[in-house]
Amino acid sequence: MDQEAARTARESLDLAFHMSNILDTGLDRHTLSVLIALCDLGVNPEALAAVVRELHREPSAPVPMPSSYQTQKQ
């Protein structure tokens, strides 16, 4: 990617992140970048939005440790 293309991509992400903050989406810059990249690859944006809404709706559950790790630690 040449410097001009990189600058344009960075400015586009900055603008999208600013809009995301105005809309209070709760998305960080990295997550927004991944979502934009997925859209660029042809993923349906409405389907992505539904997934993001669902993930925001679910309460955070603790991630269980693999049993092999727990037995090694003891």
Q: Over its length of 74 residues, how does the chain's per-residue pLDDT go in tens digits?
A: 699 999 999 999 999 999 999 999 999 999 999 999 999 999 999 999 999 999 888 776 666 767 765 555 55
pLDDT value, residue 55: 87
The answer to whether the CB of 9 falls within 8 A of the CB of 1 is yes
pLDDT value, residue 70: 54
Q: Indicate the pTM of the whole model.
A: 0.70
pLDDT value, residue 44: 97
Query: Is there a domain that residue 50 lies in?
Result: yes
> Could you give the number of structural domains in the chain?
1
Tell me 47's DSSP state. Answer: H
The answer to whether the CB of 48 falls within 8 A of the CB of 39 is yes
Query: Is there a domain that residue 64 lies in?
Result: no
pLDDT value, residue 51: 93
Query: Is there a domain that residue 63 lies in?
Result: no
Query: Is there a domain that residue 73 lies in?
Result: no
- Calpha distance 29→70 (Å, rounded): 34
Query: Is there a domain that residue 32 lies in?
Result: yes
Query: Is there a domain that residue 71 lies in?
Result: no
Range of the domain at 28: 3-58
Query: Is there a domain that residue 29 lies in?
Result: yes
CA distances from 37 to 21, 43, 45 (A): 19, 9, 11
Query: Is there a domain that residue 46 lies in?
Result: yes
